[in-house]
Structures are given as C-alpha cells and as structure tokens.
Amino acid sequence: MNLSLSHHLFVISSTPSKPHRQQSPFFLNPKSATKLKPPTYTCKTLINPSPKRLPQKQPPPPSIPTTLPPALNPFQKLASAALDAVEKCIVTKMERKHIKLNRMVDPAVQLEGNYAPVQECPARHDLEVVGTIPRSVEGVYLRNGGNPLFPPISGHHFFDGDGMIHAVTLFPAGNRASYACRFTKTNRLVTEAGLGKPVFPKPIGELHGLSGLARIALFGARALTGLVNPARGIGVANVNLVYFNGRLLALSEDDLPYVVRITDDGDLETMGRYDFEGQIKDYSVIAHPQVDPATGDLYTLGYNVFAKPHLKIFKFGSCGNKSREVPISLPQPTMVHDFALTENHVVIPDHQVVFKFSEMLRGGSPVIYDPDKVSRFGVMPRDVTHESMIQWIDVPDCFGFHMWNAWEENNEYGEKIVVVINSCMTPADSIFTGGEDLRSELSEIRLNLETGGSTRRVMVSGMNLEAGQVNKLLLGKKS
C-alpha cells in the first residue's frame, strides 16, 4: 500500500465539492512512499468548491477512547482527591484571577469552526465517490493534528491538543473510498482517559506565570504518588507523520514517536511508543525528522530545554541502526522545530524563540522572543562527527517554523551557496502572543559557505504561507 504522509490534509477531487457543514464541538465527558509525483509545492488550499451537495447518511455510533480506571491503593485515592481539591480551589482560581488569555491560547477562539474537536470515527466505506478515482491513485492520505479529548480547564494552544489522525483510503479497483479518524493512544491520552480528567500540563496554553509553576508542581505531586508516570511519555503526537523503516510514526517534539498501523479496512491502530529498538532512552526527537529519499536514512535532532547540551544530531540508517550522537552547544535552549537536508549538508536553525523558565516568575510564558539574539543557521556535513565542523551563518531577524527545502549551488563567482526555502514569520512570537500583524512570507535564504554572508528575499509577497511541502523525492534538490 502506497502512503502519502503529511500533517496537512491533501484533497483530490475530480468535481469540487461544497464545504461541509460546521460540526459542533465534541469532548469526552470528564465524568464518564507514493508512486505519484505531486506538484513541486503544495498548499493546504481547497480550490473551486463545487455546488454538489451529497445526501446526509446516518454515521455509525461514535467511538471514544475508553480505558479502565487505574487500580489505586488507599493512599493514592486520598492523594488524588487532595490534589484535585488543590487544583480546583487554588490553581484554577489563580489562573482565572491573574492570567489574561490572548487569542492564541483562548479556547473560545482556538476550538471554534473547523478547529472544533471531533469524535473518533471507525472506518466508513459507504462514502459516495463523485467522478472516477484514477487507477494510478491508490493508497492512503493522512492528516495529523490536535484534537483535545477533554475541554480545556484553562488556556489552550493548538500545539496542545491530543493527536488525532484522519485517513482517506482510495480503492480505484472498485472506485471506492473509506474514511477513518482515530486518536493516537499516547501515554498521556490513555492516562487521562483512565482518570477521567486532564492531568498533564499544556506547555503553551497553561504554563504562564505562578499558576503555570503551580501546575508543574501539581503534576510532580501526581507523579510522586504514582497517579501518572511521565517516564512512559508526556507528549501528544499531534504534529507530523513520517514513514520510516516500515513504520508509520506520529510525532511531536515533546516525546518519542508512536507507531500507528493502517488496517486492511482503512482503520487506524496505535501500536505503541517507539524508542527505535531501545536506542533512545533519555530524550525526545523533534517533530520533523528528514528521510533521505536516496538512502532511506532518517536524520533527526533531539533537544533538552533543561540541561546542556541543548541540542544533538544523529541519524538512523535505513535498517534502523542509530549513528553516534553529535552534541551541539547552543548558548540557550532554542525552539528547533524543523531542519533541512541538502545533497551534502544538514542545515539547522538557531533562531530567536527560546525557552526561559525564569520568565514564569515574572508572570510570563517560558517560550519567549529574545530580541538581543541574532538568528543564524548551522551548516554541517551529513557525516558530521564533532560540532567544530558546523559553520554558523547569521541571518538577522529571521524566524521560521518550517523549512520547505534546501539545496546547494554555485553563484556567479563560483562560490558554494546553500539555498534554503523557508517561511519567515514576523513578529517571531506572534504564534504564541496572538499579534494581529502576523506575517509568514515564503522566502529564499542564501548562505554563502565561503564568505559566511547571507541574503534573504521574499518570494511571494502579500500572502501568508506556512508548512509547505515539496515532493519528497526532491528533498535536497533544487525545486
């Protein structure tokens, strides 16, 4: 079965269709490698919706994750009740009194319209196909994203939602299609479903000021009493999907990936947390590892916001064997969400959005924009063995979550240039602070490996573009 994987939804339609009716929010009650060659760049846009309205069919009964309540001893029952009371009477009141939610963490904004939570849906095969599915189009189209299982107690950022994967399977032989969506059953989701309430702190939505520190302390107390086990994972697996070494991996950078299986009937099943056969033990991997289309090797980064080295790079061979880790000494923990490969190099960003937990003592968020820091890119050989082999090149006032592609070329003077296609966001922290003047411009960044200089130009002006994709076969090549 061929797979086209992304955290975006790609829509194929021979006859465009009318937008679906908006669904109402759904929460669990707390009491209870494709053969296709897609265009060089693809955007999350549905073009020319058609007037056809499909008849409404009665869906099957919804499925929600169910987990038996944990077997608690008398001490744990007492501790659980006491900590719940502390949360309700102290922490929640602190948040309501002292925390003013901006629109990026306001649940009333973040969970409305197309972003409203939805129920799980088992595989449905009674879908009407408008037109004919081409025989060359066969496989599964997948989208991963946040879908909170419980209503937020306080703030909620779209980075915080529990991971849910949507799958559209195309069967051209019978001109059929199926649809399914399932939560990725992370340790976090399974624990909270069993307890019947959210207990893991939301890193962006809830960790603000003293109330955020109180939530961290509350979580620590629950861990000490055995109510939760953070050693089994704290992440939501809601950002990305990568197919590597015969496994479909759901990722977010606060945890290890989770393996998800696509069943023969088009449904989704979580197989468990994946530590690469015991080769990763004490850190997570970023949400956007890169798979070399020529070798099948997976390159990735791991970072630690609490201890040095804050960043390390390593790779897994196509058969899954891990290389030696190379520590990278960043002066402060930095949000590194993505990176790029060229034919001979790895390109990593070191931008101005950093982690500074002391800001919480002053009432702020630990994720901040540092105006005194100069953004830069690190260029290193693919077979890097020591951080001294990294060449750092400054690119002032440049911040981007996603790098679309990168490649090498020579300029008119014969100098070696690394070209990076990147969405540059300004203000850099607007995705966290809710600034109204957010711009995310598709830009070409040219890094001169001989002079150490850089240039940046906007490729598409007047339009916000983010999280674009290239044909995976073109990664590291001019596109």
Same-domain pairing of 253 and 359: no
State pLDDT tens for residues 253-308.
889 999 999 998 899 999 999 999 889 877 788 999 999 999 999 999 988 888 88
Structural domain of 79: 67-274
Residue 227 in domain? yes
Tell me what pLDDT residue 390 has.
96
Amino acid at 470: V
Same-domain pairing of 263 and 346: no
Residue 416 in domain? yes
Same-domain pairing of 335 and 270: no
- Percentage of residues in the chain with pLDDT exceeding 70? 84
Same-domain pairing of 355 and 235: no
Residue 261 in domain? yes
Same-domain pairing of 369 and 452: yes
288 is in an annotated binding site: yes
337 is in an annotated binding site: yes
State pLDDT tens for residues 234-251.
999 999 999 999 999 999
Burial class of residue 472 (count of CB atoms within 10 Å of its CB; 0-12, 13-18, 19+): middle
Split at pLDDT 50, 70, 90, the class of 64 is: low
Residues composing the chain? 479
Tell me what pLDDT residue 303 has.
83
Residue 59 in domain? no
Same-domain pairing of 260 and 351: no
Q: Quick one: which of 83, 81, 78, 150 has its CA closest to 117?
A: 150
Instruction: Give the dihedral sign, CA 70/72/78/83.
Output: negative
State pLDDT tens for residues 379-391.
999 999 999 999 9
Identify the domain boundary among 238, 259, 274: 274
Taking the CB of residue 464, how many other CB atoms lie within 10 A of it? 12
Residue 297 in domain? no
Same-domain pairing of 97 and 218: yes
402 is in an annotated binding site: yes
Tell me what pLDDT residue 435 has.
66
Q: Please tell me the pTM assigned to this model.
A: 0.83
For the segment 192-212, the average pLDDT, to the nearest whole number, is: 89
Identify the domain boundary among 235, 252, 274: 274
CA distance between the termini of the chain: 27
Domain count for the chain: 2
Question: Per the structure block, which two tokens stand in for 251?
Answer: 């990722």
State pLDDT tens for residues 91-119.
877 777 667 777 777 888 888 888 889 99
**Which has more confidence, 2 or 296?**
296
Amino acid at 44: K
**pLDDT(55) > 80:** no
Same-domain pairing of 216 and 71: yes
Same-domain pairing of 267 and 339: no
Residue 310 in domain? no
